[in-house]
Amino acid sequence: MHIGILTITFSLPGCRSLKEKRQRMGGMHERFGRNPAVAVCESGEHNRHDASEWSFVVVAASRREVESLCSQIEEKIQCTVEGRIIEVTRELL
């Protein structure tokens, strides 16, 4: 069993409230949490309206599968989130 932790930090320019932040980042759990191999949560920047940090824990039988799922998550996020990706970190356990 292989585990990967993908952490993505976003800048949300023009976001004026936590409510607007939830609207922009909304659906992350539904989009990525449906996959039984992925757990997702907002892991940082909870009280800032202009930034957000999300972590994805990916579990698979091989390292290659973990890396593939992490890449798929990154690609989907780039197309769906109204914000700039500031930092992406991957940790394989």
| pLDDT tens-place string over residues 22-38 | 888 877 777 887 889 99
Cα-only R_g, the chain: 13
Whether 81 contacts 25, CB under 8 Å: yes
pLDDT, average across residues 34-53: 88
The average confidence (pLDDT) of the chain is 90
Rounded Cα–Cα distance for residues 62 and 14 (Å): 40
Residues in the chain: 93
In 1-93, DSSP assigns E strands to: 2-11, 38-44, 51-60, 84-92
Whether 79 contacts 22, CB under 8 Å: no
